[in-house]
Structure 1
Amino acid sequence: MTLPNQTFAGPLVAEDRAMRIRDHLRDAIVDRRLAPGTKLNEAEVGTLFDVSRTVVRAALQALAFEGLVKAERNRGAFVANPTPDEARQVFASRRLIEPGLAIAAAERITTIEVAAFRERLHHESELLSQRGPTARRAEIHASGDFHLLLARVAGNTILLRFMEELVARSSLVIALYGRSGASSCGHGDHASILAALEQHDGEGAGRLLLTHIDHIEADLDLRNTSNLPLREALVTSGNAQ
């Protein structure tokens, strides 16, 4: 096994290093190697990756923006620990926002955008046939991308920003507490939603989205996971991308 800092061969600017560290930490969170509430000590992470605390802080800030890390004043950064109520609030927010996005998207969608959706569905289908933590992470990411594309097609940049945060938070909840790692009905639901969008049936797509969100939430098991020490969680054997 190799420590993460050994993957940083070649000259990398500080921003590149920060994003690499962000990716390693995100993988450890999604893989449940770092449980909710784990403290991410800047000095320890910096030692593991052989970088300055400034670079580590930039990586943690990026994860905080995604909702995966919580920064607490005078205490440091911790893996986000969504409570059952917070998880319900995330999906309740999506129920309020996404049907409206579906109506707007159905009015605006073009053949090029339909093709982009189909490409994402094809990618999801390929991931469903794979196994292992890397495929699982990719499947969760691909599912989120479908919803972000819907928000982009809707054309409301303010709501798109909200959706980026909600999808990131949803991905954390699904990765930590999903029984199957993602909605067991996700791919079929997405195909049905796309069919409604292609027919410019925004109301129908909105109803399907509500059912889809119900499926995702029903797959959650909001019990805590086991934890590993930070060093052990970040020691990799080719799992991190």
Structure 2
Amino acid sequence: MKGAHHLPDLLAAGETRLCAEQIYPRLFDAILEQRLPPGTLLPEQALGQAFGVSRTVIRRVLGRLSDQQVVVQRPSHTAHLVAPDPHQARQVLSARRLAETTLITLAVERARPEQLKQLRQLVERERVHHEKGERCAAIRLGGEFHLKLAQVADNAPLSRFLNGLVPMTSLIIARYESPCCDHCAWQEHAALIEALERGDAQSALALMNEHLDRLEAKLRLD
């Protein structure tokens, strides 16, 4: 378990106070970039000082990350980052496939134009970060695409289940993806949106399975 006495600089120059919604993506990106390595302790006071906010704000952010299984919180213990091993990674990916193949079928039936527009906006942001070489931000936005897709499917229990798998998958990708791989999932996400727009359930399901196959093939879990 690594200490957090020397947290990286998490506050941009000139910034003062941030809200929990602004801190979450910055902390998540720091985790994906492994500026905060797996197993790192996350003391509320130290994080509060790093972001210039109260422990109450940090507690909300850590609570969200705990719900997504990226952070472990226990009573009377300092929160710390998870460190998924290859066996745990395979279990997460297997569970995610079961959820996503059901959700994509439901999404085809229930997608509304406004929701498709929101999905396209997410993919555009993902593309921009990818082309700028901002790999971890692109990975995080790719995860948000799948969570938004789950909302489109309009099945609350499955959506909550996926909410605990997608952020963990992002961490697994950041940790185990082969360095020779070019992570360009935004193109596959764009193809999924096109299938949703056509109402083509068969193509959408095939595309989702191919997308997850490619994701798993890029990981060095052996």
TM-score, scaled to structure 1: 0.74
Q: How does 1:17-166 map to 2 (within 5 A)?
A: 22-46=24-48, 48=50, 53-131=55-133, 135-166=134-165
Asked whether the 8 Å contact 2:101–2:209 carries over to 1, the reply is yes
Q: The residue matched to 1:113 in structure 2 has which SS?
A: helix
Residue of structure 1 equivalent to 2:5: none
> How many Å apart are 1:92 and its aligned residue?
0.7
Residue of structure 2 equivalent to 1:234: none
Per-residue displacement from partner, 1:103-152 (whole Å, max 9, x unpaired)?
Answer: 11112223333333333333333223212xxx223211221222122212
Question: % of aligned pairs identical?
Answer: 37
| Alpha-carbon RMSD | 3.1
Matched AA of 2:128: E
- Rounded to whole Å, the distance in 2 between the matches of 1:157 and 1:136 is 30
- Rounded to whole Å, the distance in 2 between the matches of 1:86 and 1:197 is 31
Per-residue displacement from partner, 1:183-203 (whole Å, max 9, x unpaired)?
Answer: 735123223322322222213
Counterpart check, 1:203 vs 2:202: yes
- Rounded to whole Å, the distance in 1 between the matches of 2:198 and 2:216 is 27
Per-residue displacement from partner, 1:166-186 (whole Å, max 9, x unpaired)?
Answer: 211111212222235987351
Q: Relative to 1, partners in 2 of residues 1:74 and 1:101: Cα closer, same or farther, differing over 3 Å?
A: same
Asked whether the 8 Å contact 1:140–1:181 carries over to 2, the reply is no
Q: The residue matched to 1:67 in structure 2 has which SS?
A: coil
Q: The residue matched to 2:38 in structure 1 has which SS?
A: coil
- Rounded to whole Å, the distance in 2 between the matches of 1:39 and 1:127 is 28
Q: The residue matched to 2:72 in structure 1 has which SS?
A: strand
Matched AA of 2:40: T
Higher relative contact order (CA 8 A, sep 6+): 1
- Rounded to whole Å, the distance in 1 between the matches of 2:108 and 2:215 is 23
Aligned length: 215
Residue of structure 2 equivalent to 1:227: none
> How many Å apart are 1:209 and its aligned residue?
0.7
Residue of structure 1 equivalent to 2:4: none
> How many Å apart are 1:80 and its aligned residue?
1.0
Q: Relative to 1, partners in 2 of residues 1:84 and 1:7: Cα closer, same or farther, differing over 3 Å?
A: farther
- Rounded to whole Å, the distance in 1 between the matches of 2:115 and 2:23 is 33
- Rounded to whole Å, the distance in 1 between the matches of 2:184 and 2:100 is 18
Q: The residue matched to 2:79 in structure 1 has which SS?
A: strand
Compare CA radii of gyration and give the structure with the larger one. Answer: 1
TM-score, scaled to structure 2: 0.79
- Rounded to whole Å, the distance in 2 between the matches of 1:178 and 1:203 is 29
- Rounded to whole Å, the distance in 1 between the matches of 2:124 and 2:59 is 37
Q: The residue matched to 2:16 in structure 1 has which SS?
A: coil
Q: Relative to 1, partners in 2 of residues 1:120 and 1:23: Cα closer, same or farther, differing over 3 Å?
A: closer
Residue of structure 1 equivalent to 2:16: 9
